[in-house]
A and B are shown apart, each in its own frame.
Chain A
Amino acid sequence: MNAGLKVLAPGLHTTVQDLGRLGYQAIGVPVSGALDGFSLQLANALVGNSPRTPALEVLMSGPTFEVAADTVRVALAGVGANLAIGAEKARIGPGQSVTLPRGAVIEVVAGQSASGYLAVEGGIAVPRVLGSTSTYVRAAIGGLDGRALRRGDFVPLAIAHASERAELRLPLPLMPTGDQPIRVVLGPQQEYFTEEAVAAFLLAEFRISQSADRMGMRLDGPSLQHRGGWDIVSDAITTGAIQVPGSGQPILLLADHQTTGGYPKIATVISADLPVVGRRRPGDRLRFAAVTVEVAEELCRAAEYHLAELAAKLEPISDHPAIDLGSLYDGNLISGVVSGVE
């Protein structure tokens, strides 16, 4: 029998993502992939997967699944998020793995982070499209039929039994992201802006508006004035670019951004801080601080090192299991599995 997760409730926008689809931007295909690649990799490490294994990205409000496999090992990464298991809604925090039996109901309860990642041992078994399983909804590429999960979907899993081993957890809890400034490298088109606009961009506080999705987030704040015209001959865009159309209201471009565009880009968020941006919600504040490209490259290497170090330091949970799986299973049978779902 096929192993999977039955979708009892889809959440606001739950998609299969990995680290993105590289190599096709020249033909207009966005990179996509996790908004918070750091957390995706951490969730994968907790269940023993390689970093690029496809997992579920949960945005803003979480989905609910029923386990349709003999056993599954899952782990959630996302600040403040929790798993609520079974009718009792036993809580499992982020940053640890847990193994669940057939019929168990898992609700992902979103936390203060806009994005969370649910990794499953062995990964989500969807085909790669152009080298990646990442979902790009606009062209219906990747993931489960190129779209976000719906109620009633069956999310196929690569393996039907969790391996027999101890669960893993992070040595320290995930730190809240706080509101430290997001570091940027100015450019590539900062010369299209007045000096006052560049100064205001680095001094002001912006607020993430309600127009925010996987393509980008519009920022409310001071209007950034262009020196001359605001339309440029289209050129290429990279993730984290902050483009400013004629309105002067900046747009921070995220994983599903178009590969090219015709607005000047005042700055680009450094790759080490992109996961932090991916955790921010509409209404949250954003401030920016400029660093040089050399510093940004060094911070990127440091971030990769930090992640590798963290993945190497995961510790086995040797004490009693966090929840009594036997009673949980019984509870589910008695309560009829689905009844606990909103």
Chain B
Amino acid sequence: MKVRFLSAGDRALVVEFGDRIDRALSNEVLRLDASVRSSRLSGLVETVPTFRSLMVHYDPVATTFADLERAITSLLDRQPGPRAAATLWRVPVCYENSFAPDLGEVANRTGLAPSEVVARHSGTSYHVYMLGFLPGFPYLGDLPRELELPRRADPRLRVPAGSVSIATTLTAIYPYESPGGWHLIGATPVRLFDPARSRPALLEPGDEVQFQPIDPASFASIRKAVDSGSYEVANEPIGG
């Protein structure tokens, strides 16, 4: 695959695979990420995979843009490299009215019944393209076509932590209360980010996610278990 190397100052470079949100493109990015991470390139600081590119942070005292471009090009020539281990997560979501302030509007605008919106949203398996915006904030896709809507015209100043949301071709979960312009169609009681965990972000790039509808009573009991540290999100490893 043809890539472009772009400089982002003297401490980072971008390996750009394309300019679309696309599963095949994302898989290329994640494969390169896995091989760069396992390469032990000198001067490598960290990598950040996104929808369509890999940012490679480096230390110019130990390496240069030119050296890294050469080294990464030779890694790409050896593709397909190993794919990092990934996990399928079954994330519980309550889609009831009080947890889903925009479900009615989404139903109206898509011409579906609220129950059909929920059935389609929870009936799809999503790919974790990348994290960004806030610690642990996952960009998941792709949504079923019928659920695609532009972002809200008037973003909210406060979206509650745990809100499950949709916009454009994507769905996401807000790990913290924050401003936000996505449509809120549910909420999860699980914690997306906790710096005290050995794996701070629940979801990592390359993982898969399915949403499991739950009722308000289960939401309350799972929240209680999460707070006491006794809840684990159901998961299974997926093939590399």
- Point out residues on A near B: beta carbons under 8 Å: 22-29, 129-130, 138-139, 141, 184-185, 187-189, 232-236, 238-241, 258-261, 265, 268-272, 293-294, 296-297, 299-301, 304
Contacts and interface: CB of A to CB of B under 8 A. Distances in A.
B135 interface: yes
A188 B10 contact: no
A238 B11 contact: yes
B23 to A, nearest CB: 14
25 contacts: A25-B46, A26-B48, A26-B204, A27-B131, A27-B135, A27-B201, A27-B204, A28-B134, A28-B136, A29-B200, A139-B193, A187-B6, A188-B16, A233-B52, A234-B50, A235-B55, A236-B14, A260-B130, A265-B8, A268-B9, A270-B9, A271-B9, A293-B7, A293-B9, A299-B10
Contact of B139 (A234, A239, A240): A234
B10 A139 contact: no
Interface in B59-115: 60-61, 64-66
Interface of B: 6-12, 14, 16, 19-21, 33, 45-53, 55, 57, 60-61, 64-66, 130-137, 139, 176, 178, 193, 195, 200-201, 204-205
Kindly list the 6 A-B residue pairs having the minimum CB-CB distance in the complex, ordered from nearest. A260-B132, A268-B9, A236-B55, A296-B10, A188-B6, A27-B201
Given A188-B7, A239-B11, 18 more contacts: A26-B204, A27-B135, A28-B193, A141-B135, A141-B195, A185-B8, A187-B7, A188-B16, A233-B21, A234-B51, A236-B50, A238-B57, A241-B8, A258-B133, A260-B130, A293-B9, A296-B60, A297-B64
B19 to A, nearest CB: 6
A283 to B, nearest CB: 26
B46 A23 contact: yes
Contacts of B49: 26
Contacts of A139: 134-135, 176, 193
A181 B128 CA distance: 41
B45 A22 contact: yes
A28 B14 contact: no
Given A260-B50, A293-B65, A188 B8 contact: yes
Query: What is the predominant secondary structure among interface residues of chain A facing chain B?
Result: mixed
Given A258-B133, A271-B9, A236 B48 contact: yes
